[in-house]
Structure 1
Amino acid sequence: MPGMRLDKLLTHLNCGSRKEVGAMIRAGRVAVDGTVICDPAYKVDPDRAAVALDGQAQQYRAQRYFMLNKPAGVITANRDGRHSTVLELFPEQQRRGLFAVGRLDKDTEGLLIVTDDGALSHALMSPGRHVSKVYEAEVEGALAKDAAARFAAGLTLKDGTVCLPAKLEVLAETPVQAVRVVLKEGKYHQVKRMIAAVGGTVVRLRRVQIGGLPLDTALKPGEFRMLTEPELVLLRQQSPAQQKN
């Protein structure tokens, strides 16, 4: 992506608004390849130029990719007048252009990808792609003895919703019944509704994996970090277009 204006690049790097970074450049606070540049329109190759603001190197990345351990109590939305949102877990200057890939219910915890890459979001969330999502749940009530077989066959819920075949595994029965559910779709409240269909009630739900990407267990609820390049490869492998290359 050669030939990007310097002020536009710094805006992409969340150094400030276009007006603010223009003032920084004109004030002589920005250097390109070791030379102070005072022209906001100066053209740079963002993939090769060494750009520094106040002596601090600024690394360009066309898109941003974050892994967030979503806590319970926040909603998956960009803005909401009544509830805290997942984007509010990010510093304000970092939020511009970001959105969550898919949704987790307000009381559901765990792995959420936050990015500004719409193509990757579509590849992961499009119903036709059948990207697997792994959940761990704490369940009250006695599950039917054939619950796993019914999940594997594909459940039809009371309202007529047809669910694709899924995997149900009991991890522990005491002191709390713990199960793992693997889905290849993401219908409304799907895990809770499927568990209810086989006799249980979900009291806690956590997503622990999307495709081949597991949640980093070092991330506490509410914490996030950038995805590594190998992790991005794992996510991109979920797209048939990527797999053909």
Structure 2
Amino acid sequence: MRLDKFLAESSIGTRKNVRIYIKDGAVKVNGKVITEPSIEIKEDTDIIEYLNKLVTYRGKVYYMFHKPGGCITARKDETNKTVFDFFNEVNMNGIFHVGRLDKDTEGLLLFTNDGEFNHQLMCPEKHVEKKYFFIALGSLDKEDIKKIENGISIGKEEEITKPAKIEVIKSGMYEDLEEEFDIRKFYNINSNFYEQPVVSGYLTISEGRKHQVKRMLKAVGCYVIYLKRISIGELDLDNSLKKGQYRILSEDEIQKLLGKCI
């Protein structure tokens, strides 16, 4: 195994950071300072030290996290709570989020120290589907749905989105659906505007552009007021996980994800 990969998978830092540590002379292999990140080591028998402390090989790790709204997908932030703030009992050095969710978006977010896993899931060429549940102000007719399914323009300087899947669950007036969806938890309009249409459903995309789901629905006149990612590929968000909770992915779940990426 390469030395930089060993350190990254041992939670010393990201692959990029550990290369810097190695080149700065902070790493020893069998008592000798090594400055070449690509050197091959034997993780079972070689003695690896970082800053003169023995490094224990951790291996690849994969977490499923139920992201709540109101926190940002970042490691640190001066003003906002981040997704990493929920992992107080875990050493998150070298572990990173797979893709990202907007601050107000809830749902399935993955974490790993496996760069190839991240590439397989997030690379646009792999066409891994991400499914979202949405509630939006507005309505969707057959023509709107057709536009979204066939690909739609969401920006002057951008290509048309790839074909998507959309399923409308319910539609009606805000005042009729407010209590059913518990809309007041995250959006409360003036009563003078209660008689405006609301629509809910599922939108499945295979890209990851910035604010893509919101922008696609906005392009057909819908303003998203609630958004939750419920699946990536064939992996569904564990309903037993409360917001802010996480767990390790099972081997079957990992293989299920990677199997869709080959």
Q: Could you say which TM-score interval applies, normalised by the shorter chain?
A: 0.7 to 0.9
1:24 alignment counterpart: none
1:115 aligns with 2:112: yes
In the alignment, residue 225 of structure 2 is paired with which amino acid?
A: V
8 A Cα contact 1:123 1:238, kept in partner: no
Tell me what 1:181 maps to.
203
The answer as to whether partners of 1:144 and 1:198 remain within 8 angstroms in 2 is no
Other-structure match for 2:214: 192
Tell me the SS of whatever aligns to 1:62.
Answer: coil
Matched to 2:104, the amino acid is D
Paired with 2:165 and 2:82, the residues of 1 have a C-alpha distance of 30
**TM-score normalised by length of structure 2:** 0.68
Partner residue of 1:148?
145
Note if contact 2:140-2:199 (Cα within 8 Å) is conserved in structure 1.
Answer: no
Identity over aligned residues, as a percent? 42
Contact in 1 for aligned 2:139/2:171 (Cα 8 Å):
no
Aligned partner of residue 247 in structure 2, secondary structure:
strand
Deviations 1:126-182 (Å, cap 9, x if unpaired)? 111111000000111122431221111111124243100101110122515211000
Task: Give the ranges of 4+ consecutive aligned residues of structure 1 lying more than 3 Å apart after TM superposition.
Answer: 11-14, 43-46
Give the 5 Å matches for 1:75-114: 75-91=72-88, 93-114=90-111
For these two proteins, the number of residue pairs brought into alignment is: 195
Q: Distance in 1 between matches of 2:213 and 2:11?
A: 38
Structure-2 residue corresponding to 1:214:
236
Take 1:165 and 1:201, find their aligned partners in 2: how far apart are those partners? Answer: 20
- Structure 1 gaps of 5+ residues are 2-7, 15-39, 47-58, 241-245
Higher relative CO (CA 8 A, sep ≥ 6), structure 1 or 2? 2
User: Counterpart of 2:17?
Assistant: none
Would the alpha carbon gap of residues 106 and 13 (structure 1) be closer, same or farther in structure 2, given more than 3 Å must change? closer
Structure 2 equivalent of residue 169 of structure 1: 167
Q: Deviations over 1:202-232 (max 9, x none)?
A: 0000000000100001111100000011101
Write the distance in 2 (CA, Å) between the matches of 1:156 and 1:88. Answer: 36
Using the alignment, how far apart are the partners of 2:124 and 2:164 within structure 1?
Answer: 15
CA RMSD of aligned residues (A): 2.6
Q: Distance in 1 between matches of 2:43 and 2:164?
A: 50
For 2:250 and 2:170, locate their aligned partners in 1 and report how far apart those are by CA, in whole Å.
33
Q: Give the counterpart letter for 2:222 in structure 1.
A: G
> How far off its partner does 1:82 sit?
1.8
